[in-house]
Chains A and B, each alone.
Chain A
Amino acid sequence: MTAPDTAVLRGQGPVVAVVAAGGAIGACARYGAALLWPARTGGFPWTTFWVNVVGCAVIGVFMVVVTEFRAGHPLVRPFFGTGVLGGFTTFSTYTVDIQKLVEDGHPGTGIAYLAATLLAALTAVTLAATATRRALKGKKSL
């Protein structure tokens, strides 16, 4: 590793610790959702769909609050934004589930899932951020 790399990683202990804790919590919440609502082979992956859409809505609210309203403790954003929400939502399961649907002979469901997740996730983050900005308008901000 070159010098700039180690410099950029120096003093990151506390942040790495809270991101790890948040990531474990987020991953457990996603695993719990998959146990509660197991996916049907060949069917539309509703559980991962909702996990990702809910995670995107929550990050829309959260980022507006911490960047435009009240930053809070410096570890709040890495813990909740990077850790919990990043660990909860998943991009890898999204693409591999599409691969499985195509391979199992359900390309139509795969394409519908691809488009629906993208559309719903981007709509959720946009609406959540806009609604939060509107709700906090006029309140004491940063």
Chain B
Amino acid sequence: MNWLLVIAGGAVGAPLRYLTDRVVRSRHDSTFPWGTFAVNITGCLVLGLLTGAAPDPHLQLLLGTGFCGALTTYSTFSHETLRLAEGKAGLLAAAYVTASVVAGLGAAFTGVWLGGAL
């Protein structure tokens, strides 16, 4: 049962990340990876809400471990940073890393606080 919840969450989170990135790319012709940035920050907020609200462990597995875990990504984040740095966009790479960490932490702290207030 637990594995099925993780599978279900992961099978929704990952394609949602892919589709979001595709839509964002089609609208913004930018070298800054806005798509990954958007899903990572959104995932931090949702996981923060879940952590603050402390729902039952099954919902935590489905939405936390499965959905938020697969919606957000560290591998694409680091690879995009490397690509920016290799493409002589070192400042943009540094800005991407800083913005992701600062906004991600901000979203996580806000989410936990909001979730606790629910």
- Chain A contact residues, CB within 8 Å of chain B: 4-5, 8-9, 12, 15-16, 19-28, 30-31, 34, 52, 55-56, 58-60, 63, 78, 81-83, 85-96, 98-100, 103, 114, 117-118, 121-122, 124-126, 129
Contacts and interface: CB of A to CB of B under 8 A. Distances in A.
A91 B18 contact: no
B73 A86 contact: yes
A28 B23 CA distance: 27
8 contacts: A12-B19, A20-B15, A23-B14, A25-B10, A56-B78, A89-B73, A92-B43, A99-B112
A98 B69 CA distance: 15
B74 A121 contact: yes
| Residue from B3, B72, B109 whose CB has the most chain A CB atoms within 10 Å | B72
Interface secondary structure of A, over-half rule: helix
B95 interface: no
Interface residues of B, number: 53
